Amino acid sequence: MLTVAVCMALLSCLQAQELQGHVTIILLGATGDLAKKYLWQGLFNLYLDESVKGYRFSFNGGALTPTKQGQEHVAKVLESLSCPKDVAPDRCAELKDQFQRLSQYRCVKTSEDYLALSKDIEAQVQHSGVREIGRIFYFSVPPFAYVDIARNINSSCRPGQDTWLRVVLEKPFGHDLLSAQQLATQLGSFFREEEMYRVDHYLGKQVVAQILPFRDQNHRALDGLWNRHHVERVEIVMKETVDVAGRISFYDRYGVIRDILQNHLTEVLTLVAMELPHNISSVESVLQRKLQAFQALRGLQKGSAVLGQYQAYSEQVHRELQKPDSFRSLTPTFAGVLVHMDNLRWEGVPFILMSGKALDERVSYIRVLFKNRAYCSQNEKHWLEGQSHCLPQQIIFNIGYGELGSPAVLVSRTLFRPSLPAESWKEVASRPGLRLFGRPMSDFYAYSPVREQDAYTVLISRIFHHQKDSFVTTQNLLASWAFWSPLLESLANEVPRLYPGGAENGQLLDFEFRDTQLSFSQQPLEQLVPGPGSTPKPSDFQALGAKYRDSPLISAWPEELVAKLASDIEATAVRAVQRSGKFHLALSGGSSPVALFQELATGHYGFPWAHTHLWLADERCVPLWDPESNFQGLQAHLLQHIRVPYYNIHPMPVHLHQRLCAEEDQGTQIYAEEISALVANSSFDLVLLGMGTDGHTASLFPQSPSGLDGEQLVVLTKSPSRPHNRMSFSLPLINRARRVAVLVMGRMKREITTLVSRVGHDPQKWPISGVQPSSGQLVWYMDYEAFLG
């Protein structure tokens, strides 16, 4: 057994070894912009902080630039490094000199270059005479170069046993979920997760790094406040005045959502919204809470975002990408996105994420605005001391820049006096005349870091100390792409609103939100981004009344069409309730009814929901909580906004006994019996249908072996697209309805509407042609694009 004395001796020996270990840092992309602006300075700061503790270093810059040219470039950058304010100039010159002697540059291209690099690292370690403890490879290179470099490092530059390897990666980490997955898999074949440090430099910003500690340290005050009952909204904003001239070849493939929102603003969002773990220093617990926050994010749709593009962008694209004048890039340089979280803490609280180039000011902040229920009858100038309960109450994490100029945490004095770590944060006196977020600075308790540090310096130090909580893990990255990719896909062809840039933007980019929809507040004075030809505007048309397949057709622009259908449904509902005390409405899934659900949810306060029974005309064989489920769409866009007694809601029983649409479970019979029991004569007051591009309706597809005729009311069917298994109303059941509305929207439907207008009764080929209510009325609702093309 070891004695205590031996243990102590061993321990101090280990500590002494650790203190004198050698660390090699290899900066790849050493002649690039980021290296010049931040990374060399960050490495110098690391050297200043850690060499005094006994660590030995060597710094190797590498890039594709030829050696001599690269050496000259790096020498200039090293000459411009600066020391902290409290270091005397002579001492600073000495320290820079030491750092320069430890730094060198080489051209690295081939696998032989990496082998040679590895040999040199070993020689440097030997020369320093102390044990090697680790190597850091910093990838400040474009992502297409990642895999080759990773392969070379893995095969030639891995250190020996007991010496750690850390690789630092800079965004972009893919441009959508699939590419991010591919890149993660490739990198994962060379490095272990714990070896990878994906940088999001916002996580190195002092204020961002303070969000969790602030929430933790002030939890007594915040516990009751940090939730939907008290928070009015959260704004997460990064405004920039610069444009992207000179960076177009990168930027045009990414745009503002990929460049800023998917990473910086999303990271910040999760820190604000996640549940606090018991121990905020536990990297694993923080990650789990973050992932839970991602799960609670409600899926985004096209209408969740507004996009803009500064006017000079086009010309910059033509110049930098050598595109013809006729080329128009749709890449957004401005985006506002409305995000919601479906959990008990944040249900209903709007999170606004906004970023843009060429705006009127440079500022990044998170603003948590609280609800204020007080009304003060006196003018502010007559308020007595302490009578400030009418003031807005807010907590602001000023990440940087803006009127204040420095990072700061601000808390309205009407809320509470916050506590921040005294050794690193100091209270700042208010500056007379300075107004922040509409209030004099004196309204806030304000705290700033004692020593301001730039994000890269913070992150480099954290990499050195193996503090992984400031980096983006693979799971976290993929969760973020999974959230953003569907929106990016749906916006791919969206024409951004043009804006002049700077103060001239005026109110052009102001936006408003209503439920899950976001829209610019101002209609543009002119069509700034010209569409093809002289497109008629919605107001140029009245809803058009005509006939289609011998039944009434209502055609209009989408918004008007949806509004008309919603009011027709309401009128039908009111009549049904007057007649029988109930309204039985069967709804279909798909994307077309989403706008209708939203319209019904928000614009129809007179709707007799309390007497309405809601049924599904078809369903996908997935669990009801699955995003693919029609019921889920209904829930997200309608049910959660209205008050229908829960026993009036009749989801299709596709998920019984833990199985999906198993014949033995007799889900179709169960639903048919429920209909027969509750709906007089199984005749719905209204069935809402759509029409697919192949002529299907509900989930009755061409050549379906069931549901097109016969006795069955509800059937199992197969769809050619995923998910294949479906449950559906049969045509005979549909045709018993008092009224059937078929909603058809979008240009994609143009061909099928033309075709179906010509075919006779042929449900085998075109199931929609079998919709012919025996005694009820069929009405078609088509938007102009579906009807006229």
Give the catalytic positions in this structure: 264
Nearer to ligand BG6, 45 or 364 (CB): 364
Q: Residues 132, 252, 259, 570: which binds ligand BG6 (CB under 6 A)?
A: 259
d(CA 132, CA 681) in angstroms, rounded, equals: 84
What minimum distance in Å lies between the beta carbon of 116 and ligand BG6?
33
170 contacts ligand BG6 (rule: CB under 6 A): no
- Of 170, 179, 339, give the one whose Cα is nearest residue 259: 170
- Of 51, 39, 50, 52, give the one whose Cα is nearest residue 81: 39
Instruction: List strands edge to edge, sheet with 231-239.
Output: 425-427, 444-449, 408-412, 394-401, 363-370, 231-239, 351-356, 334-339, 305-310, 497-499
Structure tokens at 170: 């800079």
**By rule CB under 6 A, what string of x and - marks binding of each residue 137-166 to ligand BG6?**
------------------------------
Say which residue the tokens 């806030």 belong to.
Answer: 444
Nearer to ligand BG6, 22 or 201 (CB): 201
Nearer to ligand BG6, 238 or 740 (CB): 238
Inter-residue contact 315 to 328 (CB < 8 Å)? no
Buried b / exposed e across 731-767, counting CB within 10 Å, b at 16+?
A: bbbbbbbbbbbbbbbeeebbebbeebeeeeeebeebb
What minimum distance in Å lies between the beta carbon of 238 and ligand BG6?
6
Q: Which residue is nearest to ligand BG6 (CB)?
A: 259
What minimum distance in Å lies between the beta carbon of 239 and ligand BG6?
9
What minimum distance in Å lies between the beta carbon of 242 and ligand BG6?
7
Nearer to ligand BG6, 334 or 781 (CB): 334
What minimum distance in Å lies between the beta carbon of 675 and ligand BG6?
55
- Of 487, 255, 506, 235, give the one whose Cα is nearest residue 357: 255
**By rule CB under 6 A, what string of x and - marks binding of each residue 94-133 to ligand BG6?**
----------------------------------------
Q: Which residues 346-375 are close enough to bind ligand BG6 by CB under 6 A?
A: 364
Q: Which residues 374-413 are close enough to bind ligand BG6 by CB under 6 A?
A: none
Nearer to ligand BG6, 505 or 555 (CB): 505
Coil, helix or strand for 339? strand
- Of 553, 582, 585, give the one whose Cα is nearest residue 569: 585
**Contacts of residue 270, Cβ cutoff 8 Å, sequence gap at least 6:** 290, 293, 294, 476
What minimum distance in Å lies between the beta carbon of 561 and ligand BG6?
40
CA angle 331, 334, 340 (to 5 degrees): 110
At 64, which amino acid appears?
A: L
d(CA 44, CA 50) in angstroms, rounded, equals: 10
Total of chain residues touching ligand BG6, rule CB under 6 A: 4
Nearer to ligand BG6, 353 or 700 (CB): 353
d(CA 169, CA 149) in angstroms, rounded, equals: 11
CA angle 610, 614, 617 (to 5 degrees): 165
**Contacts of residue 268, Cβ cutoff 8 Å, sequence gap at least 6:** 202, 208, 211, 236, 366, 399
What minimum distance in Å lies between the beta carbon of 364 and ligand BG6?
5
Nearer to ligand BG6, 190 or 334 (CB): 334
Q: Which residues 227-256 are close enough to bind ligand BG6 by CB under 6 A?
A: 238, 240
**By rule CB under 6 A, what string of x and - marks binding of each residue 417-436 to ligand BG6?**
--------------------
For 223, 397, 419, 425, 573, the CA distances from 220, given in Å and listed in that order, are 6, 19, 11, 20, 49
Inter-residue contact 727 to 659 (CB < 8 Å)? no
Inter-residue contact 662 to 715 (CB < 8 Å)? no
What minimum distance in Å lies between the beta carbon of 146 and ligand BG6?
17
- Where does this chain bind ligand BG6 (CB under 6 A)? 238, 240, 259, 364
